[in-house]
Structure 1
Amino acid sequence: MELTAFLNYLEHERRYSKHTITAYKRDLTQFITYLKAQYELEEWAKLKSLHLRSWVVSLMQRELSATSIHRKVSSLKTYHKFLLITQGISKMSFPQVLLPKKSERLPAFVEKGQLNKLQTKVVFPDGFSGMRDYLILEILYSTGMRRSEVIGLRWADVDFENHHCRIKGKGNKVRLVPFGKPLKETLLAYQTLLEETFSENEAGLILLTDKGQPMYPKFVYNKVKHYLSLITTSKKKSPHVLRHSFATHLANNGADLNAIKELLGHASLAATEVYTHNSIEQLKKVYEQAHPKAKK
């Protein structure tokens, strides 16, 4: 089963990110390998519910989460639709299979008081690397950007006069996100230090490694994990946790859900509604702590 045409379709027509395309390729390759090993099956048109059900069971035996299994099956469905369009495959329907139920998991986030410790308690290294590290955290939390968006951010995307930045998100969709005076001041101070440290930056990227090269996903992840480990005991300490914190704090302070959706670059309001759950949890805590009938 050839995947090249499908992966090109995802990149050029659907305009998916490299990270997303890699996930699709991994999911499909795993499934195709399983079909060959277990059933000696190499034709997608011969795919049956039996084959898909067997694979799902094998994933459950490996203790993959329900969310991961749903995502993998979704990858197969997208590939199936592509084959229907490009190859016909007899207009066969995608095999039906019962999937494990996904638990309702609230997005992990860091409390505002803990994030304030990044300014008051955490000591960053002197020089370029320390200011760069602090800026990574500041941008992620102040704008709600995705990791890939932070990596690709350029000076040309920042409008200092109007206090907003132009972000190219999933599917190359562009959105404008405002930022406040603290981030502006940090950016300007960092810009001066960056120019003093590296004489060449042809791509105009804002954030570079210690060697003046473009950042990469693992670099950003390791930096965020390190600094968050200094201020929180939460199990999750990824760049996406700061994005969740950005959205959760907006929701808890009464921001309109549609506005949060636009700031995050979500295609659907359904993806943003999860932050209302965190807001409700916050209200429950206030009620339990303050209302005389709460614990009776």
Structure 2
Amino acid sequence: MADPFKVRVSGPLLACAHGVARQMLWAGYSPRTVRDYLYVLARLSRWLDDEGLATGQLTAEVVQRFLLARRNAGNRRWCTVRSMQPMLAVLRDMRVIPVVEQPSPASAVEAVLVAYRRYLMVERRLAAASVITRVGVARRFLPWLAVDDELRFDQLTPAAVSGFVLDQSRLYRPASMKVLTVALRCLVRFLFLTGVIDRDLSAAVPAVAHRAARLPQGVDDATLAALLNSCERSTAVGLRDHAILTLLIRLGLRAGEVAALRLDDVDWRTGEVVIRGKGNRLDRLPLPHDVGAVLVEYLRHRPRSTCRALFLRACGPHGPMTARSVTMVPRTASARAGLTVIGAHRLRHSAATGMLRSGAPLPEIAQALRHHAEASTARYAAVDRAALDTVARAWPGDRR
């Protein structure tokens, strides 16, 4: 078995070598991977000693010099900053080497994006996912106003705004275009509020044509059972995926809400769980006994980590799962079970339609799904055809 503590290190980084190994092992890296990083650490330490440099002088520029020396020596591995980033991050956390300073914006577009991101986070207090989406739209729009690397806001006219929306409509579906237009209105309002432009052009952003929402498509009980049974519960990953699927199916959580769960959110005494929903909204939901039992089974085999997220990545470092990785769990499970692809949100629909079939009223379903608007829940009524048949009037002339 690879033992990173047997790697011989000399030079300025000798004192912190074992500390780096312990932290990387605790983060979930395999012993073999940590041993490889220690080999690189040993070479970096010897190079610093040869150059007469101390650990406090190991800046980003010095790291680039070390990597250049490795490439010039004919090395092909560990020759990029990205490959060394995990080890350098541990050294910075241990305060062995200087913390990287945030670089100043490299262009006029980046300068505006930095100010816009701060506005969204501090003044608007938007959720992180919303900030990422809106800054991404701004990153696509602002280059339309750039001339020779300078932003020409005098060219920001209603025609330019509508022209950008028309161009993007050729690339995205209506649902995505609605997100884009909302983000674009937010951007032009920001430019107006900060005095960059002299009039509010939010009204110049075209509205996306409304399309009637499709009926929610649930999943039958046999298919749900097949998804759960596809998880290999003899492994830590299988137990994790089984727990995620259980939360999606039984509680109707969104993928982002599952990813946002933390260990402290589960109140085992009261049998409740705190859900971080849209708009940073916090809700407490009852935790059914069988769902809690599934979580306990997963937690007993959860990888060791200082991360307080409930669900962790399978590979080291064991950091929190993202909403995107949670959405892949039911997709992968449906492939294992030989089913057509089933997304995480469809399981949310299944939870709602299941409650409706069991006789739960719409206000109770809205409370369980944490809907802000009644219309979001009302569309589930169209799924219950048996109930609709009792109130549907006979067609004139129809004999029944």
Q: What TM-score bracket applies, with the shorter chain setting the length?
A: 0.7 to 0.9
The 2-side partners of 1:13 and 1:262 are apart by: 29
Q: Report the alpha carbon displacement of residue 252 of structure 1 after superposing the two structures with TM.
A: 4.5
Residue 319 of structure 2 aligns to which amino acid in structure 1?
Answer: Q
Select which of 368, 378, 383 maps to 1:281: 383
Matched, 1:23 2:125: no
Residues 87 and 259 of structure 1: is their aligned pair in 2 closer, same or farther, counting only changes over 3 Å? farther
**Pairing of 1:1-296 with structure 2 (within 5 A):** 1=109, 2-36=112-146, 42-44=151-153, 46-62=155-171, 64-87=172-195, 89-96=197-204, 98-106=206-214, 107-119=216-228, 121-122=229-230, 124-194=232-302, 198=303, 200-211=304-315, 212-230=318-336, 237-266=342-371, 268-270=372-374, 273-283=375-385, 287=389
Residues 10 and 154 of structure 1: is their aligned pair in 2 closer, same or farther, counting only changes over 3 Å? same
Are the equivalent residues in 2 in contact too, given 1:140–1:146 (CA < 8 A)? yes
Structure 1: which 5+ residue stretches go unaligned?
A: none
The 2-side partners of 1:126 and 1:35 are apart by: 56
Please say which structure displays the higher CA radius of gyration. Answer: 2
Are the equivalent residues in 2 in contact too, given 1:225–1:238 (CA < 8 A)? yes
The 1-side partners of 2:269 and 2:162 are apart by: 57
Residue 383 of structure 2 aligns to which amino acid in structure 1?
Answer: E
Q: Report the alpha carbon displacement of residue 123 of structure 1 after superposing the two structures with TM.
A: 5.0
Residues 35 and 256 of structure 1: is their aligned pair in 2 closer, same or farther, counting only changes over 3 Å? farther
State the identity as a percent: 22
Residue 159 of structure 2 aligns to which amino acid in structure 1?
Answer: L
The 2-side partners of 1:168 and 1:221 are apart by: 17
Q: Report the alpha carbon displacement of residue 133 of structure 1 after superposing the two structures with TM.
A: 1.0
Q: Report the alpha carbon displacement of residue 69 of structure 1 after superposing the two structures with TM.
A: 1.5
Residue 71 of structure 1 aligns to a residue whose secondary structure is helix
Residue 79 of structure 1 aligns to which amino acid in structure 2?
Answer: L
Residues 102 and 167 of structure 1: is their aligned pair in 2 closer, same or farther, counting only changes over 3 Å? same
The 1-side partners of 2:399 and 2:263 are apart by: 53
Residues 279 and 189 of structure 1: is their aligned pair in 2 closer, same or farther, counting only changes over 3 Å? same
Residue 90 of structure 1 aligns to a residue whose secondary structure is coil
Structure 2: which 5+ residue stretches go unaligned?
A: 1-108
The 1-side partners of 2:131 and 2:141 are apart by: 16
Q: Report the alpha carbon displacement of residue 146 of structure 1 after superposing the two structures with TM.
A: 2.5
Residue 89 of structure 1 aligns to a residue whose secondary structure is coil
Q: Report the alpha carbon displacement of residue 34 of structure 1 after superposing the two structures with TM.
A: 3.4
Residues 15 and 57 of structure 1: is their aligned pair in 2 closer, same or farther, counting only changes over 3 Å? same
Q: Report the alpha carbon displacement of residue 138 of structure 1 after superposing the two structures with TM.
A: 0.7
Give the structure-1-normalised TM-score.
0.79
Q: Report the alpha carbon displacement of residue 185 of structure 1 after superposing the two structures with TM.
A: 1.2
The 2-side partners of 1:232 and 1:105 are apart by: 28
Are the equivalent residues in 2 in contact too, given 1:163–1:179 (CA < 8 A)? yes
* Larger RCO of the pair (alpha carbons < 8 Å, separation 6+): 1
Q: Report the alpha carbon displacement of residue 234 of structure 1 after superposing the two structures with TM.
A: 5.3
The 2-side partners of 1:188 and 1:13 are apart by: 40
Give the structure-2-normalised TM-score.
0.61
The 2-side partners of 1:207 and 1:35 are apart by: 43
Stretch moving more, 75-84 or 209-218: 209-218
